[in-house]
A and B are shown apart, each in its own frame.
Chain A
Amino acid sequence: DTEVTQTPKHLVMGMTNKKSLKCEQHMGHRAMYWYKQKAKKPPELMFVYSYEKLSINESVPSRFSPECPNSSLLNLHLHALQPEDSALYLCASRGRSETQYFGPGTRLLVL
């Protein structure tokens, strides 16, 4: 099973809401990633977890809060987002090989 699942597929939220994105993989991968992708742009790295510890934070605003509760699960908690945060949020995982496996993404719209 080489699948990375993400829920929800779509999310609409107001600027005062709190919501969470969820990512799950059962490949035993110990590195998990969050990327943000704006329309017609490449994915931008946000966070990297390695062995359930945050190893890279690419200067992401604090209104995005990642969490890795266990080796299979990665969450992204959202609070007080701005309309410019509307984007496709991609999760990926990587094991010992070089290959990253991506989920289909959550399309977020902030009103």
Chain B
Amino acid sequence: DAKTTQPNSMESNEEEPVHLPCNHSTISGTDYIHWYRQLPSQGPEYVIHGLTSNVNNRMASLAIAEDRKSSTLILHRATLRDAAVYYCILRETGNQFYFGTGTSLTVIP
């Protein structure tokens, strides 16, 4: 069973904010929420992670629901270079990372 669920695809206009949702209803108290993105023909690239509180970094923001059963990755101003598959991942206690199905983001000029 998938540990996280995401929409298959989303579109955004360039320079507009993008909100990418993820459901993780079976998350346990110690699981970290990670987001990675993968451009064509490349390995995944780290975007952001969090445990309970909202997080910001230079790439994006992560909003985590109070019950932790869902989260949203926010790209504040989408650029053409942000077109990629975005994966929501749970990092369980230890070293296991389980990728969700991913959302393919298309950015429209």
Contacts and interface: CB of A to CB of B under 8 A. Distances in A.
B42 A50 contact: no
Nearest to A104: B43
A33 B95 contact: yes
Interface in B23-63: 32, 34, 36, 41-46, 49
Given A98-B34, A98-B49, A98-B91, A44 B99 contact: yes
Interface string B47-84: 00100000000000000000000000000000000000
Given A102-B44, A103-B43, A105-B43, A31 B95 contact: yes
B44 A45 contact: no
A24 to B, nearest CB: 14
Nearest to A49: B95
Interface in A36-66: 42-45, 48, 50, 55-56
B94 A56 contact: yes
Contact of B94 (A4, A43, A55, A104): A55
Q: Is the interface of A mostly helix, strand, loop or mixed?
A: strand
Contact of A43 (B42, B46, B96, B99): B99
B46 A48 contact: no
A102 B39 CA distance: 12
A103 B43 CA distance: 6
A103 B45 CA distance: 9
Contacts of B34: 98
B49 A48 contact: no
A90 interface: yes
A56 B41 CA distance: 27
Interface of A: 4, 31, 33, 42-45, 48, 50, 55-56, 90, 92, 94, 98-105
Interface of B: 32, 34, 36, 41-46, 49, 87, 91, 94-102
9 closest pairs, A vs B, by CB? Answer: A102-B43, A42-B99, A99-B46, A48-B95, A98-B49, A102-B44, A31-B95, A104-B43, A43-B99
